[in-house]
C-alpha cells in the first residue's frame, strides 16, 4: 500500500561507556548503555523536521513499518507513515526502546560489565528523567539539536512531558495522548498488585530466575491479564464478549468458562513471549513516583502542547489531561486539550477513534 513504510530495520547504538557512563537520578552509574531504535523518513538538510516517538509501557522501538517475516506491523503503524498523521513524506521520525526494556535497549537482562553476568535484580532503580536522558543522548548521536515534535501515548506521553520540562527550548511541539502527570492512588494500587503477582511467583527467585533457567510465568501472566482489563472499557468488553460461554466439554465452574476469560488467558500467554518480568517491574515503578511539575517548579517550556484524552479511558481519564493543561497554563504555556469519544478505553491511543488522527495531523503541520 502507498501509505506503508514497507520493511524497516532496528538499529543499535552504544550511548554510554566507561569514559562517559550514564549517571541515573539515583546516583547509580551504567558504564555501558546500548539503545535500540528505528527511523522513518528523511532528515531535512536543515535538520528541522525530526519527530521523536516515545512508547508506552510494553512498547518498543518498532513503531511503524514491517519487520521481515512479521505477522503485523509496528505498534503505531496506523499513525506513522507516508501521508498519515505523522507523515514520513515530510517528517523524520525516531522511535527508541526505553532504558530498562527488553527489546534491544540495556535493561535487567543485559550483562553487567563489572560482573560478567546479567544484572537481574541488581539493575538500578529508574526514574522518568532517566528515560529522557537516554532519549537526549540518542538525539545528540543523530546530530539533532531541536525537535519539530515529540509524540507519546500513556507512559510515552509522560516521557514527553518530562522532556519538555527538562529541556524547555528543545521541543517545538508536544503531543500527549491519554497521559498523566501524577498517578491516582487507584493507579498505583493496580500496579502494586501486578508487581506482587510477579514478586511472589515461586519462580521469581529474588529476580535471579534466568540463572535458574526459569521465568515467573504465572506472575507475569496474571500481571498482564489484570493490566489489560484497565486498558479496555466495560463497553468494549460487553460488546465483544457479553456473557458468551464456551459450551464444549463438561462443567467448567472452576475453570475458564466465559469467553472473556479465554480472551484474558490469551492476552496473558502471548505477553510471556515478548516481555521480561524484571523490565515490567522497573518500568512500572517510575510511573508511581512521577511528579514532573513538582520536580521542575520553575520550568516554562517554549513548547506548544496538544493533549488528547478519551471519554471511556478509566486508567488515565480526562481529569489527568486537565491537570496537565491547568499546570502548564498556569505557567503561561500554550496548550490545547480535546476529549474524544471512543468505545475502546485507554487503548484508544493505539487505535483510530474519529477525530484523533486529524488532531495530530493538523498540530504537526
127-151 pLDDT tens trace = 999 999 999 999 999 999 999 999 9
Does the annotation list 347 as a binding residue? yes
Number of residues in the chain = 365
Any alpha helices (H) in the chain, and if so which ranges?
128-142, 155-166, 185-199, 217-231, 234-241, 259-272, 277-289, 292-295, 318-330, 356-364
Please give the distance of CA 252 from its chain centroid, rounded to a whole number: 37
Determine contact, residues 314/183, Cβ cutoff 8 Å: no
Distance CA 56, CA 158 (A): 9
Q: What's 187-283's CATH class?
A: mainly alpha
pLDDT tens digit sequence for 233-266: 999 999 999 999 877 766 667 788 899 999 999 9
pLDDT tens digit sequence for 349-361: 999 999 999 999 9
Give residue 215's pLDDT band: very low, low, confident or very high (50, 70, 90). very high
> Average pLDDT in the 4-19 region?
96
pLDDT of residue 69: 87
Name the burial class of residue 251, with classes exposed (0-12), middle (13-18) and buried (19+) by CB atoms within 10 angstroms of its CB: exposed
| Every domain range in the chain assigned CATH 3.40.50.1820 | 11-183+290-364
pLDDT tens digit sequence for 101-122: 999 999 999 999 999 999 999 9
pLDDT tens digit sequence for 80-94: 999 999 999 999 999
CA distance to 254, 291, 325, per residue, from 7 (Å): 46, 39, 38
Residues noted as catalytic: 154, 313, 346
pLDDT of residue 1: 47
Distance CA 130, CA 140 (A): 15
pLDDT of residue 279 exceeding 70, the answer is yes
Asked if the 11-183+290-364 domain carries CATH number 3.10.20.30, the reply is no
* SS3 category, 240: helix
Give residue 72's pLDDT band: very low, low, confident or very high (50, 70, 90). very high
Q: What is the 3-state secondary structure (H, E, C) of 279-292?
A: HHHHHHHHHHHCCH
* Cα Rg of the chain (Å, integer): 20
Task: Of 349, 339, 3, give the one whose Cα is nearest residue 156.
Answer: 349
What nine digits make up the cell of 233?
A: 472499557
236-240: Cβ within 8 A, 24+ apart: 236/312, 236/343, 236/344, 236/345, 239/343
pLDDT of residue 331 exceeding 70, the answer is yes
**Percent of the chain beyond pLDDT 90?**
95
Residue with cell 527488553: 102
| Every domain range in the chain assigned CATH 1.10.1740.110 | 187-283
Distance CA 324, CA 336 (A): 10
Amino acid at each position: 500500500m502507498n501509505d506503508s513504510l514497507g520493511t524497516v530495520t532496528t538499529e543499535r547504538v552504544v550511548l554510554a561507556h566507561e569514559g562517559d557512563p550514564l549517571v541515573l537520578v539515583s546516583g547509580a552509574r551504567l558504564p555501558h548503555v546500548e539503545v535500540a531504535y528505528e527511523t522513518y523518513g528523511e532528515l531535512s538538510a536543515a535538520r528541522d523536521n525530526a519527530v521523536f516517538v516515545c512508547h508506552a509501557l510494553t512498547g518498543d522501538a518498532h513503531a511503524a513499518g514491517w519487520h521481515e517475516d512479521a505477522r503485523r506491523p509496528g505498534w503505531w503503524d496506523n499513525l506513522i507513515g507516508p501521508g498519515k498523521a505523522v507523515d514520513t513524506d515530510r517528517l523524520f521520525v525516531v522511535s527508541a526502546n526505553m532504558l530498562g526494556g527488553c527489546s534491544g535497549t540495556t535493561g535487567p537482562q543485559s550483562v553487567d560489565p563489572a560482573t560478567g553476568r546479567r544484572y537481574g535484580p541488581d539493575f538500578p532503580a529508574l526514574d522518568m528523567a532517566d528515560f529522557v536522558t537516554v532519549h537526549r543522548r540518542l538525539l545528540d548521536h543523530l546530530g539533532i539539536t531541536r525537535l519539530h515534535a515529540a509524540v507519546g501515548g500513556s507512559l510515552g506521553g509522560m516521557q514527553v512531558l518530562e522532556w519538555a520540562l527538562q529541556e524547555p527550548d528543545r521541543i517545538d511541539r508536544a503531543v500527549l495522548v491519554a497521559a498523566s502527570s501524577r498517578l491516582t492512588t487507584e493507579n498505583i494500587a493496580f500496579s502494586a498488585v501486578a508487581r506482587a503477582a510477579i514478586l511472589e511467583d515461586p519462580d521469581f527467585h529474588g529476580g535471579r530466575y534466568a540463572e535458574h533457567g526459569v521465568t515467573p510465568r504465572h506472575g507475569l501472566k496474571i500481571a498482564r491479564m489484570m493490566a489489560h482489563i484497565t486498558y479496555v472499557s466495560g463497553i468494549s468488553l460487553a460488546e465483544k464478549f457479553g456473557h458468551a460461554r464456551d459450551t464444549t466439554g463438561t462443567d467448567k465452574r472452576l475453570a475458564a468458562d466465559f469467553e472473556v476469560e479465554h480472551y484474558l488467558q490469551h492476552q496473558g500467554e502471548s505477553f510471556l513471549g515478548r516481555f521480561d518480568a524484571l523490565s515490567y517491574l522497573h518500568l512500572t515503578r517510575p510511573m508511581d513516583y512521577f511528579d514532573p511539575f513538582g520536580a521542575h517548579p520553575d520550568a516554562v517550556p517554549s513548547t506548544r502542547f496538544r493533549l488528547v484524552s478519551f471519554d471511556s479511558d478509566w486508567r488515565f481519564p480526562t481529569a489527568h489531561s486537565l491537570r496537565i493543561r491547568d499546570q502548564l497554563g498556569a505557567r503561561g504555556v500554550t496548550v490545547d486539550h480535546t476529549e474524544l469519544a471512543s468505545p475502546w478505553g485507554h487503548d484508544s491511543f493505539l487505535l483510530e477513534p474519529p477525530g484523533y488522527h486529524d488532531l495530530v495531523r493538523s498540530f504537526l503541520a
